[in-house]
């Protein structure tokens, strides 16, 4: 299978599917717009602008948009959803200010 992006028609509009089969969050109102975006992304891939990198959290190979993009989608979603407080906070015990 040739590596590249494809267009998927979803209930919310047209979405871009990356070469790993992940559906992008962006929705396009028409197929032409999605296909144009798709071609640009595929071209960027061929030009080597996008690289496969291992996710910094789980090591899964992801298609990175650049040095800032180092987590796979599941890990990014998890870290977005994760609560900032892990467990109950305990009064003043051990707190120094
Ligand atoms: Zn990951």
pTM: 0.53
- How far, in Å, is the centroid of ligand 1 from the Cα of 79? 10
User: Are 40 and 69 contained in the same domain?
Assistant: no
User: Are 17 and 43 contained in the same domain?
Assistant: yes
In the structure, what pLDDT confidence band is assigned to residue 97 with cuts at 50, 70 and 90?
low
Kind and range of the H or E element at 16? strand 13-17
Q: Which of 19, 28, 33, 25 is nearest to 64 (CA)?
A: 19
User: Are 32 and 1 contained in the same domain?
Assistant: yes
Report the pLDDT averaged over residues 41-56: 86
Q: Give the residue numbers spanning the domain of 54.
A: 50-84
The percentage of the chain sitting over the pLDDT mark of 90, rounded to a whole number, equals 44
User: How many structural domains is the chain composed of?
Assistant: 2
- How far, in Å, is the centroid of ligand 1 from the Cα of 66? 16
- Report pLDDT for 20: 86
pLDDT in tens, 23-45: 999 999 999 999 999 999 999 88
- How far, in Å, is the centroid of ligand 1 from the Cα of 91? 35
- How far, in Å, is the centroid of ligand 1 from the Cα of 88? 27
Highest mean pLDDT of the ranges 8-12, 74-78, 84-88: 8-12
Q: Which of 50, 9, 61 is nearest to 32 (CA)?
A: 9
User: Are 13 and 25 contained in the same domain?
Assistant: yes
């Amino acid at each position: 299978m040739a590596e590249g992006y494809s267009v998927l028609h979803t209930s919310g509009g047209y979405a871009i599917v990356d070469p790993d089969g992940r559906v992008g969050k962006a929705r396009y109102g028409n197929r032409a717009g999605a296909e144009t975006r798709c071609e640009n992304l595929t071209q960027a891939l061929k030009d080597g602008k996008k690289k496969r990198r291992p996710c910094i959290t789980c090591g899964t190979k992801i298609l990175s948009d650049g040095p800032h993009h180092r987590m796979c989608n599941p890990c990014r979603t998890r870290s977005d959803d994760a609560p900032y407080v892990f467990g109950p906070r305990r009064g003043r015990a051990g707190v120094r200010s």
